Amino acid sequence: MLSYVLRRFFYMIIVLLVVSITAFVIIQLPPGDFLTSYIMKLKASGQIVDEAEIAALRKQYDLDLPIHLQYCQWMWKMLHGNFGKSFEWNRPVKDLILERLPLTVTVSLFTLIFTYLLAIPIGIYSATHQYSVGDYAFTVIGFIGLATPRFLLALILMFVSYRYFGLSIGGLFSPQYQLAPWSGAKFIDLLKHLPIPVVVIGMAGTAGLIRVMRGCLLDELQKQYVITARAKGVSERRLLFKYPVRVAINPIISTIGWTLPRIISGQTIVAIVLGLPTIGPLLFRALVNQDMYLAGSSIMILTFLTVIGTFISDILLVWLDPRIRYEKQAR
Amino acid sequence: MKNRQDKITAEEKFYIATQWQLMWRKFKKHKLAIFGAIVLFIFYFVAIFCGFFSTQDIYKRHTKYIHAPPQRIHFFDEEGFHLRPFVYGLKRKINPVTLRRTYSEDRTKKYPIYFFIRGDKYKLWNLFPTDLHLLGVKEPGTIFLFGTDKLGRDLFSRNLHAARISLSIGLVGVALSFILGCALGGISGYFGGTADMVIQRVIEFLMSIPTIPLWMALSAALPPHWPPIKVYFGITIILSIVGWCGLARVVRGKLLELRQEDFVMAAKIIGATDGRIITRHLLPSFLSYLIVNITLAIPGMILGETSLSFLGLGLQPPVVSWGVLLRDAQNVRTVVLHPWLLIPGLFVIVTVLAFNFLGDGLRDAADPYK
Amino acid sequence: MRSKLKSEDDPLLEIKDLRTYFYLDEGILKAVDGVSFKIDRGKTLGIVGESGCGKSVTAQSILRIVPSPGKTEGEILFHQENEKNVDLAELDPFGKEIRNIRGNQITMIFQEPMTSLSPLHTIGNQIMETILLHRKLNKTEARGLAKEMLDKVGIPDPSHRIDDYPHQLSGGLRQRAMIAMALSCNPSLLIADEPTTALDVTVQAQILELMKDLQKEFGMSIIYITHNLGVIAEISDEVAVMYLGKVVEYGSVEDIFHNPKHPYTSRLLKSIPRVGRKVRARLDSIKGTVPLPLGLPRGCTFYPRCPQAKEGICNIDAPPLIELENGHKVECVLYR
């Protein structure tokens, strides 16, 4: 068990390294380096750019080094908490991201919980009531949920609430709490604002998960061990939860690996539409303005979140499933 | 004796039916899948001949009709039923304080709708110049079935032209993913070993990255001076970067599974060549699975393009796709005043639904003995 | 021949005109179609037939665990000891009454020892579940009983094995664990649905031996379902031969093996390889395969494959049930 966790951890570190390289490549992608666009911007606003100053900046950002050394420098600085500077905001990238990270994690976590809390019972219901009216209803809702782009769902919800209730939804806080320091009242205000983003972000994932859960459970319900348990005189409800549900939960938990990227991915675009103070809109603005250090770091942080989440789900799975537990041990 | 003969043939029919016949039989039973297939057929057909089905040129600005609402097609007026449908003219009022335009039907002006009418010039498939349209009204009448946008351009025609881009990007993207997925999945599954290990790690890595941020970053990096056609292919390639992973996994998994099957072993023992085994035994066995997975991969591509274009990072005007059209609906206040701007979203949903239904039906049909 | 624990005519279970139909889109699948037999206390009834003849569904019908969309009708009279008889076919398949009988008075073991135990629970957990359900014991006592049962079925080192997961046991040991579970509440009837088919031949013999020994010790009746005639000859007192949802011949093991009446039974017996037969002689087989019991023609279901079929009789009317001497019954026009 421990050796498996260690190996999985080691693998995660490698993935994170590759992610950082990808992020670095993304920073380098736009034509010219970011300093060129910075200078262009300064020139456009009529400022005079001093050659010496440019050289100093070049040195400060290691742009005079060959590309692989630039990467190493960047990594080295990052490990020391220096993520570079955002030209757009004129602030350290680290501060910008740290400001928004807790809310990003909160929204993702709530969405994840919402997704599983909704998908598992509905999946169980659909599988045990196959081809019933309820099953069909959930299937149809699920299909529509999968087919609707999340930003469109956000738009439609905003449209409906504005048009029919005169409410402007969006954001995570009421105006009076936006800049206020954390307090109990602010937290409650946050909880009030969470449902809409959580539902919008979680919709597609939930719909997908219901299909998976239903399919798995239908498979399990046919299995011989279920008939064995029934032949023992175990009641249907107890039987359902002790055996097939328990078995079907495992693949569901292993889907965190793809549910989490979906949530983070969906959150990015929904946050832009709903104006949530998370990393998504930050990344968007950074990309539009070619604020590349901020963009690269944002992508890296978002990916880190999913990779770490997947790692945790893997560990959970091993702990839950004796088959994997022993198989891994035997290896 | 005759009874016996009949029975055997009926029974044998079930056993000797080819895999495709069985699939077709099963597929026919899936009503939603049939529905999806029909919807998609209509959509693609209209998209291919979008110039003909549109009522006018998509770049023509009707400056008198900015943000005009959809005009209804009527069959009845005060005089009763008319076989030839018609539209009423639009009367514009501008609120002097807010400067908001409101439109109402002008019952005094009636424009009959003509079929196969000569109208704005266009080039069918960019090759054949023509001016034939399915329907339209005569000057000075207007027909805006889906209303107009902020520049007074007809949204019905724009939606049809957008369909061409949005629907084709799904197919092109999947074709690219398919080539990549088959090649890499095939290598991975057939040869195994180190190649397999490396490819699997790459797939796992790509799948663990949240797609939208990655797509956003990559498409933001497309040079702004590229011509539309290059951007179009750029976006497709970006979408395929993630898209091939799923297909590669299917190909690999199926190959590994089939390699163990008795009939493949049997073919090997009688001395069939690798090429023959692949084409005669392996390919037919998982072609159905590939088709299912391809069908289910297309909606992802369409949704991806729509999302990117919506954010302004994908296709750029003057190219029209559903996502580009939805950019006009970014502001909720605009949408409340002009709800018809959301119509492209409806098309996206229906298309994706249809693909999912079709894919679901195909998946059920792919297991004919189940 | 075998130890006789109770008097001759002491029925435990009487099945009359049992019908289990599956209502499918393609039509009504008559998996069990008018089956009648009885089993005496302490005796073993063998049910034999090709795959798909309805043997397993008959067993499932007794316990009322037929998967949907199957429906069971007819009479399944269960003579409980010191209690009044119940008709199992009348009970709600999900109700408390039938659940108190399942796993307690009537238990069942299955063909696939690989899949018939839950992979996520220890065998001890699964045996104790049965015990706790049906007996008034606390957990420690149940665990003690489970260990005792594991020991009885010949699992070595039961105090450790009890905490093993099924995948840690071999097929034979798993089947032994299944038997331990089935016998833990001292049932009056054990239904064994091809319990040795999936096992190695040597293990098969061991399990069969074990079941015979346990029957002597616990005195339960056994319904043994198999397609293996050799096993039937070894273990049964009475035999029911099934074909396409019907019992075509029923009789004592001697009658069936030495004096088979139904053409199907005789063909079945001829298809067993025997020592001392002419070398290179072809083994007799029954031509054709079992048809799907869906939309069957009128008349005898064996008609298309029967070598003695009479055109104009067999394919017109259903064959009558003919009672021969000593309770030997056969469904065939040849004995009218």
Q: B338 and B215 in one domain? A: yes
pLDDT by residue (tens digit) across A79-135? 887 777 777 777 888 888 888 888 888 888 899 889 888 988 998 888 888 778 888
- B215 burial (CB, 10 Å; 0-12 / 13-18 / 19+) is buried
Residue A93 lies in a domain: no
The CA distance from A41 to A284, in Å, is: 19
pLDDT by residue (tens digit) across A125-153? 888 887 788 888 888 888 888 888 888 88
Q: B146 and B77 in one domain? A: yes
Neighbours of B366 (CB within 10 A): 21
Q: A202 and A68 in one domain? A: no
* pLDDT above 70 as % of chain A: 89
- CA dihedral (C282, C284, C287, C291) in degrees, to 10, reads -130
Sequence-distant (6+) residues with CB within 8 A of B46 are B53, B160, B163
Residue A138 belongs to a domain with what CATH number? 1.10.3720.10
The CA distance from B46 to B351, in Å, is: 13
Residue A69 lies in a domain: yes
The CA distance from A44 to A64, in Å, is: 25
Query: Among residues A79, A112, A131, which one ends one of the domains?
Result: A79
Least confident of A74-88, B169-183, B295-309: A74-88
Residue B28 lies in a domain: no
The CA distance from A110 to A190, in Å, is: 12
Q: A131 and A244 in one domain? A: yes
Q: Would you call the peptide bond into C195 cis, given omega within 30 degrees of 0 as the criterion?
A: no
Q: A271 and A187 in one domain? A: yes
Nearest to B350, CA basis, from A152, A325, C22: A152
Check CB contact under 8 Å for A231 and C104: no
The CA distance from A271 to A288, in Å, is: 16
Mean pLDDT, rounded, for C155-159? 88
Q: B140 and B285 in one domain? A: no
Residue B42 lies in a domain: no
Mutate which of A222, A224, A232 to disrupt the C interface (most C C-beta within 10 Å)? A232
C217 vs A39, residue with greater confidence:
C217
Residue A13 lies in a domain: yes
With contact defined as beta carbons under 8 Å apart, do C185 and C99 qualify? no
Mean pLDDT score of chain A: 80
| pLDDT score of C5 more than 50 | no
SS3 C103: coil
The residues that bridge with C109 in the sheet, in sequence order, are C192
Q: B271 and B163 in one domain? A: yes
Q: A263 and A134 in one domain? A: yes
Name the residue in chain B with its Cα closest to that of A308.
B208
Q: A210 and A313 in one domain? A: yes
Q: B288 and B145 in one domain? A: no
- The pLDDT confidence band at residue C9, using thresholds 50, 70 and 90, is low
Residue A180 lies in a domain: yes
Q: B316 and B284 in one domain? A: yes
Mutate which of A152, A162, A259, A307 to disrupt the B interface (most B C-beta within 10 Å)? A152
Q: B179 and B97 in one domain? A: no
Mean pLDDT score of chain C: 82
Least confident of A206-220, B93-107, B145-159, C199-213: B93-107
The residues that bridge with C250 in the sheet, in sequence order, are C240, C329
| pLDDT score of B211 more than 80 | yes
Residue A88 lies in a domain: no
pLDDT by residue (tens digit) across A223-241? 888 888 888 888 888 888 8
Residue B235 lies in a domain: yes
Q: Would you call the peptide bond into B96 cis, given omega within 30 degrees of 0 as the criterion?
A: no
* pLDDT above 70 as % of chain B: 91
The CA distance from B164 to B298, in Å, is: 14
Residue A117 lies in a domain: yes
Q: Would you call the peptide bond into B318 cis, given omega within 30 degrees of 0 as the criterion?
A: yes
Number of domains in chain B: 2
Residue A94 lies in a domain: no
Q: Could you tell me the residue range of the domain that residue A51 belongs to?
A: 2-79
Chain B neighbors of C304, CB-CB under 8 A: 4, 7
SS3 A178: helix
A329 vs B345, residue with greater confidence:
B345
Q: B63 and B148 in one domain? A: yes
Query: Among residues B152, B169, B187, which one ends one of the domains?
Result: B152
- CA dihedral (B39, B43, B46, B49) in degrees, to 10, reads -130
Residue C222: per-residue pLDDT: 92
Residue B295: per-residue pLDDT: 82
Mean pLDDT, rounded, for A27-38? 68
Q: A149 and A287 in one domain? A: yes
Query: Among residues A32, A49, A79, which one ends one of the domains?
Result: A79
Q: B133 and B277 in one domain? A: no
Q: A183 and A130 in one domain? A: yes
Q: B307 and B187 in one domain? A: yes
Residue C143: per-residue pLDDT: 92
Q: A71 and A153 in one domain? A: no
Point out the residue among B1, B3, B11 whose CB comes nearest to the CB of C291.
B11
pLDDT by residue (tens digit) across A198-219? 888 888 888 888 888 888 888 8
pTM over 0.90: no
* pLDDT above 90 as % of chain A: 1
Smallest CA–CA distance, residue B4 to chain C, in Å, is 7
Sequence-distant (6+) residues with CB within 8 A of B2 are none
* Chain B residues whose C-beta sits inside 8 Å of any chain C C-beta: 1, 3-4, 7, 11
Residue B279 belongs to a domain with what CATH number? 1.10.3720.10
Q: A104 and A29 in one domain? A: no
Q: B216 and B290 in one domain? A: yes
B278 vs C90, residue with greater confidence:
C90
| pLDDT score of B309 more than 80 | yes
Mean pLDDT score of chain B: 79
Number of domains in chain A: 2
Sequence-distant (6+) residues with CB within 8 A of C262 are C241, C248, C249, C330, C331, C332
pLDDT by residue (tens digit) across B193-210? 788 888 888 887 887 788
Nearest to C54, CA basis, from C284, C269, C240, C286: C240
Neighbours of B147 (CB within 10 A): 20
Q: Residues 344-363, chain B: which have Cβ within 8 Å of A?
A: 345, 348-350, 352-353, 356-357
Residue A159 lies in a domain: yes
Name the residue in chain C with its Cα closest to that of B6.
C297
Residue B27 lies in a domain: no
Residue B283 lies in a domain: yes
Residue B3: per-residue pLDDT: 46
Q: B339 and B196 in one domain? A: yes
For residue A233, the 8-state DSSP code is T
Name the residue in chain C with its Cα closest to that of A247.
C120
Q: A139 and A70 in one domain? A: no
| pLDDT score of A324 more than 70 | no
Residue C269: both structure tokens together: 């017996």
Sign of the CA dihedral running C65, C70, C71, C72: negative
Q: Which helix (H) or strand (E) holds B143?
A: none
Check CB contact under 8 Å for B345 and A149: yes
Query: Among residues B136, B152, B168, which one ends one of the domains?
Result: B152
Smallest CA–CA distance, residue A69 to chain B, in Å, is 22
Query: Among residues A11, A46, A79, which one ends one of the domains?
Result: A79
The CA distance from C318 to C332, in Å, is: 9
Residue C255: both structure tokens together: 């009658």
The CA distance from C233 to C241, in Å, is: 12
Q: A121 and A30 in one domain? A: no
Chain B neighbors of A31, CB-CB under 8 A: 223
CA distances from C133 to C107, C126, C147 (A): 13, 11, 17
Chain B neighbors of C315, CB-CB under 8 A: 3-4
- The pLDDT confidence band at residue C8, using thresholds 50, 70 and 90, is low
Residue B41: per-residue pLDDT: 92
With contact defined as beta carbons under 8 Å apart, do C84 and C97 qualify? no
The subunits that touch chain A, with at least 3 C-beta pairs less than 8 Å apart, are B, C
Q: A104 and A6 in one domain? A: no
Residue A148: both structure tokens together: 């609707």
| pLDDT score of B178 more than 50 | yes
Check CB contact under 8 Å for C304 and B1: no
Smallest CA–CA distance, residue A42 to chain B, in Å, is 20
C139 vs A79, residue with greater confidence:
C139
Residue B200 lies in a domain: yes
Q: Could you tell me the residue range of the domain that residue B76 belongs to?
A: 59-152
Smallest CA–CA distance, residue C99 to chain A, in Å, is 4
Query: Among residues B152, B183, B203, which one ends one of the domains?
Result: B152
